[in-house]
Amino acid sequence: MTKSNVRFHVNSRLAQLLSQEYSSTEKAIKELVDNAWDADSDHVKIQLPAPMSDHPIVICDDGSGMTEDEVGSHYLSIASDRRERSGERTAKKKRLVKGRKGIGKFAGLMAASVMTLETHARGIRTSFTLRVQDLSTVQDIEQLPIHLTTEPCSPESRGTRITLSSLHQQLTFPDPIKFRQILLLEYGRETDFAIEVNDKVLGVDDVQGHFKDEKLDVPEVGEVRVRFAISEKNAVSRQPGIVIRVDGKAVGKPSFFGLDDQEDFPQKLLKRLYGEIDADGLSKHVTAGWNSLIENSELLEQVTNAVRPLILAAFKEKHGREIQLAHARLRRDIKERLAALPENRREYAEKAIQKILERFYQESEEKIAPFIYVLLEAIERSDYGLVVQHLADASRKDIATLADALAEFGLTDMAYLVEQAKARQEFLDQLELLTQDPKTLEAQMHKAIEKNLWILGAQFSLYSSNKTLQRQVEEGFGKQFVGERASNRPDLLLNENLNGECLLIEFKRPAHLLNRDDYKQATDYRHDLLKYTTKPIQVVLIGGRKSTDFPTTNLEPNVNAMTFSDIIATARKQLNWQLSHSFV
């Protein structure tokens, strides 16, 4: 046997790290279990003492252990990050390393005054003892000598044993039940890391809540053992659900056996479900990589159909009373409205309200009440009912679009946009009738379109009347178009946009074919107008259809010829697109 002295290696983060850890003794001991995980242990045993006894806390694992050098240079290096030394994963099992701050090894001192570590690796047993009272004798922890003892041991011996003795009597002793809940959350789904607490392996039956253990005889599958628990708390594991085991091996991810697709089932309750199923009869329906069961397996479907009612009945047994109480509280507020409904509608409303309460189990009454309010309004009022019917008939994509639009505009703005779209559709209907009448004159089309430039396209909707400019033009044209020219006086509309650009629209009768003379007349008007303004002028010539002699080459810039039929058709498409992309 040899003895040597080593010292702590202090990191500047020590004071900060030691002051922010562990709100309970159970969480402190859990840190020591994390160390066993990082050491690639297969099995860890924890013995917790009875309250107020003199027995120690013992944590024993079969991990890789440490040599004397590793204890001195790494384990006693306070606040060093293991991941910086060895990477994000463990050497053997490639587990994600949990130890991060390098002080979890001292977590046990929260519960005890004395910590003894004994570790075996590569034929050497190394041990030391650390006492809290010794820490008070030095001003700096690196001045505290740690006496390491080493001696030979069996080469096959490996692992670490930590003994916490002289427990702090002023603190509550670690509670095995609470400790198991903490371990389940972290390690409940690990298949290669068994944990024993007071000689009992951590399992489904450790969940605090409603526990079921039943055997089912499923045709063609044989005996199926179902063990699951419904926790009292919101979550018992980071992977809730029920995992299927075949020949003792977990296959695939935990499942909720269709309850997650059941619309009237409270989805929050699923986080409380934790369990496992032994179904060796499914061995021929496991994928080659043992990653999952074949999804379209008829045997798997039979197991699912047998297990789902069992789970559902357990949930109703456990939480049905709580759902009824929530219903009773809300019923007081809606009792009068239900009483005013006809009997057939009242029965329907009560069933629908029950579904809402089940679906939104454990949500606040403030969140549930609006759904019930809209439901009752839809039953009582036809306009509400019409809206709900449209929502029911709409696709998910349409409803998502509507939700986004409501979030951006609000109900009032949305209602205005709908009314505006309907009014514009009616306007297009009337305008189309007007264009189909051979007696319609230019002046009539002028009057119809002058305040509805949106039909020409979004780029024209920002133009508006400029009275001063129009008056100047009228006075100028009044001087030019006199005598024989009076009959050629243009029927035009002159507007201006925010950028000071002008728009000249020359109207022709819907029955008129636009020709070369019409083009020349419109461009001549622009030349005349440029005598009264220096602003750029865009020309739009509108008529029934284009004749064969309408020019197609060598056109002046910013001159567009449009037909009434094309204008109306394009405007309808734009309206329909807007309605289909903005509303349900």
pLDDT digits (tens, 9 = 90+) for 249-283: 888 889 898 888 876 677 778 888 999 999 999 99
Please check whether residues 475 and 532 belong to one and the same domain. yes
Q: Among 159, 177, 197, give the residue marking a domain's end.
A: 197
The answer to whether residues 522 and 501 touch, using CB atoms and an 8 Å cutoff, is no
Do β-strands 545-546 and 513-514 pair in parallel, antiparallel, or remain unpaired? parallel
pLDDT at 380 over 80: no
> Packing angle between helix 411-436 and helix 564-582, nearest 10 degrees?
160
Please check whether residues 41 and 185 belong to one and the same domain. yes
Mean pLDDT over residues 207-236, rounded?
A: 88
419 assigned to some structural domain: no
> Which of 2-11, 383-392, 476-485, 502-511 is predicted with the least confidence, judged by mean pLDDT?
476-485
581 assigned to some structural domain: no
pLDDT in tens, 80-116: 566 566 678 888 998 888 865 566 777 788 888 899 9
- Burial environment of residue 41 by CB neighbours within 10 A (0 to 12, 13 to 18, 19 or more): buried
The answer to whether residues 186 and 30 touch, using CB atoms and an 8 Å cutoff, is yes
* Partner residues linked to 181 by β-bridges: none
468 SS3 class: helix
More confident residue, 540 or 84: 540
Locate 1 and state its tokens: 């046997």
Locate 300 and state its tokens: 């798997």
> How far apart (Å, rounded) are the C-alpha atoms in residues 275 and 204?
6
410 assigned to some structural domain: no
Mean pLDDT over residues 64-75, rounded?
A: 87
Please check whether residues 234 and 175 belong to one and the same domain. no
97 assigned to some structural domain: yes
> How far apart (Å, rounded) are the C-alpha atoms in residues 184 and 207?
8
The answer to whether residues 120 and 150 touch, using CB atoms and an 8 Å cutoff, is no
Query: Could you tell me the CATH number of the domain that includes residue 211?
Result: 3.30.230
The overall pTM is greater than 0.75: no
582 assigned to some structural domain: no
Q: What mean pLDDT, rounded, does the chain reach? A: 79
Structural domain for 346, as ranges: 203-393
532 SS3 class: coil
Q: Alpha carbon of 519 to those of 442, 510, 554: distances in Å?
A: 16, 16, 12
CA-closest candidate to residue 133, choices 114, 116, 108: 114
pLDDT at 209 over 90: no
What single-letter amino acid sits at 470? Answer: Q
Q: Total domain count for the chain?
A: 3
557 assigned to some structural domain: yes
Q: How many CB atoms lie within 10 A of CB 246?
A: 20
Query: Could you tell me the CATH number of the domain that includes residue 105?
Result: 3.30.565.10
Q: Alpha carbon of 509 to those of 233, 441, 454, 551: distances in Å?
A: 78, 5, 20, 19
403 assigned to some structural domain: no
Please check whether residues 499 and 530 belong to one and the same domain. yes
> How far apart (Å, rounded) are the C-alpha atoms in residues 305 and 299?
10
Q: DSSP labels for 271-326?
A: GGEEEEEE-GGGGGGB-TTSS-B-TT-HHHHHHHHHHHHHHHHHHHHHHHHHHHHH
Please check whether residues 207 and 186 belong to one and the same domain. no
* Per-residue confidence band for 584, with pLDDT thresholds at 50, 70 and 90: very low
Please check whether residues 386 and 490 belong to one and the same domain. no
Q: Which pLDDT score, from 0 to 100, does residue 202 have?
A: 92
Q: Which pLDDT score, from 0 to 100, does residue 583 have?
A: 47
Mean pLDDT over residues 539-559, rounded?
A: 88
Please check whether residues 314 and 446 belong to one and the same domain. no
Please check whether residues 308 and 338 belong to one and the same domain. yes
The answer to whether residues 259 and 241 touch, using CB atoms and an 8 Å cutoff, is no
More confident residue, 548 or 465: 548
Question: What radius of gyration, in Å, describes the C-alpha atoms of the chain?
Answer: 41
**For residue 338, how far is the Cα from the chain centroid?**
35
More confident residue, 464 or 299: 299
